């Protein structure tokens, strides 16, 4: 039941939702994400989220990911500002 609920949410929400594991590998991607980023869902699943970042913002993202792994507060939303 949970999987079908999640599927309905991902298909109907207007906001892009990208969920990754602790290493930045995408395991959930909403239909709105397709519209925002221009990738099919199947293209991004299993890929690193760095796919969405410009070269200049990747270092910032990697630093934030490392901070999160260390349990430090970070705001990943800032990494998308350059997109």
**Mean pLDDT, the chain cut into blocks of 10 residues (83 residues total):** 80 87 88 89 92 81 81 66 46
Q: Quote the pLDDT of residue 56.
A: 75
CB-CB contact of 18 with 34 (8 Å):
no
Q: What is the pLDDT of residue 57?
A: 79
pLDDT at 80: 52
Reported as a single tens digit per residue, the pLDDT across 25-39 is: 999 999 898 888 899
56 burial via Cβ count (<10 Å: 0-12, 13-18, 19+): exposed
């Amino acid at each position: 039941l949970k999987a079908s609920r999640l599927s309905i949410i991902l298909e109907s929400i207007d906001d892009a939702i990208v969920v990754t594991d602790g290493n930045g590998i995408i395991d959930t991607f909403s239909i709105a994400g397709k519209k925002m980023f221009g990738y099919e869902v199947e293209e991004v699943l299993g890929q690193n989220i760095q796919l969405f970042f410009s070269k200049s913002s990747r270092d910032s993202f990697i630093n934030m990911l490392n901070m999160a792994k260390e349990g430090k507060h970070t705001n990943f939303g800032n990494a998308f500002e350059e997109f």
